[in-house]
């Protein structure tokens, strides 16, 4: 692999930083309203060089990158590190080098993550965790140490058979190995007390995220999809203490916040659990008359409602993952997919499903087949769109979405 892509001097950065934040990220503490938080979040997301991670690293904090979909970030936090969700480079990152190391028919998040690594865009990260969610993430973990040296990388193996008693001890062991890597990346020793208190903090964050999600349901949703998304996305980019405080401010504003009533069709947004669509595409969904009442975006915060009591903190964390009812493409539960989508429709009152899958994302595409069988049986309308990080032209998607919405409205 070393000969496949030979980098003498580091190439020119793929993107120039456009947002500089203060080392204490006080900008987020000062954002008093949802509008201010979302404006700040949109700026941060437009800069592919991870401005929050850079600011934290300047302040001497140990930042660890967590590739989607799931890493037990509580462990990093308990060891004094800051876990940052590593969701690729987004629409403003040009790919000039990663194509030489990765095949053409791969999702964009894999290429943009590697591009960032190859061009110095991940200097703020002391370690990167790749959960074994698919062949692409598995291979990235293999490529990174060779092509992007200078930081710890770790492949997190997650169990796929949740009915065997071996799943829990296996995962506890895997989490202990992860903690060893975090130690090598400068983390403090992992203690029972510290992990229990980090779990408590992350449970608060999960509760705050649930409140945001419930604001998208009901007859008059008080948040737009992109507002809900940006507020959630910040949860993986700033220290969790800061995010919990932001969620509390957002929750009190939501109690009396009203958006104008609009004629829209309630839909589920299914598929974008790893690579993320652009904000423009999320805005488009609502512009054409969809009201997204539940979605697959950023599932890391929703894997379980809270960590159950009983046992050591590491066991509790592992049990939460094993017992999770999460049913998306990276969990091998093929027989329950149909039921899962139908019960989401029942719980939210959605009238249709928009599948929004990253191009070449096999786990998401395989799920679509299983979901469609269940939807066809119940005659629920659906539309399937594909996206890439650098998608910019949405004329065709707009037309397809408008036709889909009209077909439900005038049915
Ligand atoms: S977008 Fe899909 S294929 Fe790509 S890394 Fe994520 S899960 Fe794997």
* Domains observed in the chain: 50-194 (3.40.50.11890)
Three-state secondary structure along the chain? CCCCCCCCCCCCCCCCCCCCCCCCCHHHHHCCCHHHHHHHHHHHHHCCCCHHHHHHHHCCCEEEEECCCCCCHHHHHHCCEEEEECCCCHHHCCCCCHHHCCCCCCCHHHHHHHHHHHCCCCCCEEEEEEECCCHHHHHHHHHHHHHCCCCEEEEECCCCCCCCCCHHHHHHHHHHHHHHHHHHCCCCCCCHHHHHHHHHHHHHHHHHHHHHHHCCCCCCCCCCHHHHHHHHHHCCCCCHHHHHHHHHHHHHHHCCCCCCCCCCEEEEEECCCCCCCCHHHHHHHHHCCEEEEEECCCHHHHCCCCCCCCCCHHHHHHHHHHCCCCCCCCCCCHHHHHHHHHHHHHHHCCCEEEEEEECCCHHHHHHHHHHHHHHHHHCCCEEEEEECCCCCCCHHHHHHHHHHHHHHHCC
Rounded to the nearest angstrom, the distance between the alpha carbon of 107 and the centre of ligand 1 is 6
| Tens-level pLDDT at each residue, the chain (411 residues) | 344 455 555 567 767 888 999 999 999 999 999 999 999 999 999 999 999 999 999 999 999 999 999 999 999 999 999 999 999 999 999 999 998 889 889 999 999 999 999 999 999 999 999 999 999 999 999 999 999 988 999 999 999 888 899 999 999 999 999 999 999 999 999 999 999 999 999 999 999 999 999 998 877 788 999 999 999 999 999 999 999 999 999 999 999 988 877 889 999 999 999 999 999 999 999 999 999 999 999 988 889 999 999 999 999 999 999 998 887 777 766 568 888 899 999 999 999 999 999 999 999 998 899 899 999 999 999 999 999 998 778 999 999 999 999 999 887
Task: Summarize pLDDT for 122-137 with one digit per residue, the tens.
Answer: 999 999 999 999 999 9
Q: Using a 6 Å cutoff on CB, does residue 362 contact ligand 1?
A: yes
Report which protein residue has its CA nearest ligand 1's atom 6. 274
pTM for the full predicted model:
0.94
Q: Which atom of ligand 1 is nearest to the CA of 140?
A: 5
Mutate to test the pocket of ligand 1, among 299, 300, 362, 368 (most ligand atoms within 8 A of CB): 362
């Amino acid at each position: 692999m070393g000969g496949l892509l030979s980098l003498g001097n580091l190439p020119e950065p793929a993107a120039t930083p456009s947002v500089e934040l203060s080392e204490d990220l006080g900008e987020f503490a000062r954002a008093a309203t949802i509008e201010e938080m979302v404006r700040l979040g949109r700026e941060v997301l437009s800069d592919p060089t991870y401005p929050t991670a850079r600011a934290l690293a300047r302040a001497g904090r140990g930042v660890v990158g967590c590739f989607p979909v799931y890493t037990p970030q509580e462990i990093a936090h308990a060891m004094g590190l800051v876990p940052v969700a590593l969701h690729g480079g987004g629409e403003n990152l040009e790919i000039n080098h990663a194509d030489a190391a990765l095949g053409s028919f791969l999702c964009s998040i894999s290429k943009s993550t590697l591009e960032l690594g190859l061009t110095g865009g991940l200097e703020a990260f002391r370690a990167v965790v790749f959960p074994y969610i698919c062949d692409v993430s598995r291979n990235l973990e293999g490529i990174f140490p060779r092509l992007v040296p200078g930081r710890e990388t770790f492949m997190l193996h997650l169990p796929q058979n949740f009915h065997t008693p071996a799943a829990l001890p296996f995962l506890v062991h895997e989490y202990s190995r992860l903690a060893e890597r975090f130690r090598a990346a400068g983390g403090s020793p992992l203690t029972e007390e510290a992990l229990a208190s980090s779990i408590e903090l992350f449970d608060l964050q999960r509760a705050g995220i649930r409140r945001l999600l419930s604001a998208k349901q009901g007859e008059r949703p008080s948040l737009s999809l992109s507002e809900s998304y940006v507020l959630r996305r910040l949860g993986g980019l700033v220290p969790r203490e800061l995010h919990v405080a932001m969620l509390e401010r957002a929750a009190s504003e939501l109690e009396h916040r009203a958006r104008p009533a609009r004629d829209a069709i309630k839909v589920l947004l299914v598929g974008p659990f790893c690579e993320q669509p652009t904000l423009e595409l999320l805005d488009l969904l609502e512009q054409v008359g969809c009201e997204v009442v539940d979605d697959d975006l950023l599932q890391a915060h929703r894997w379980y409602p809270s960590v159950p009591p009983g046992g050591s903190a590491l066991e509790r964390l592992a049990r939460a993952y094993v017992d999770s009812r999460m049913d998306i493409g990276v969990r091998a539960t093929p027989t329950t997919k149909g039921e899962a989508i139908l019960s989401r429709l029942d719980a939210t009152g959605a009238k249709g499903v928009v599948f929004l899958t990253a191009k070449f994302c096999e786990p998401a595409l395989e799920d679509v087949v299983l979901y469609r069988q269940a939807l066809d049986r119940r005659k629920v309308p659906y539309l399937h769109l594909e996206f890439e990080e650098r998608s910019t032209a949405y004329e065709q998607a707009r037309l397809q979405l408008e036709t889909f919405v009209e077909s439900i409205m005038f049915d």
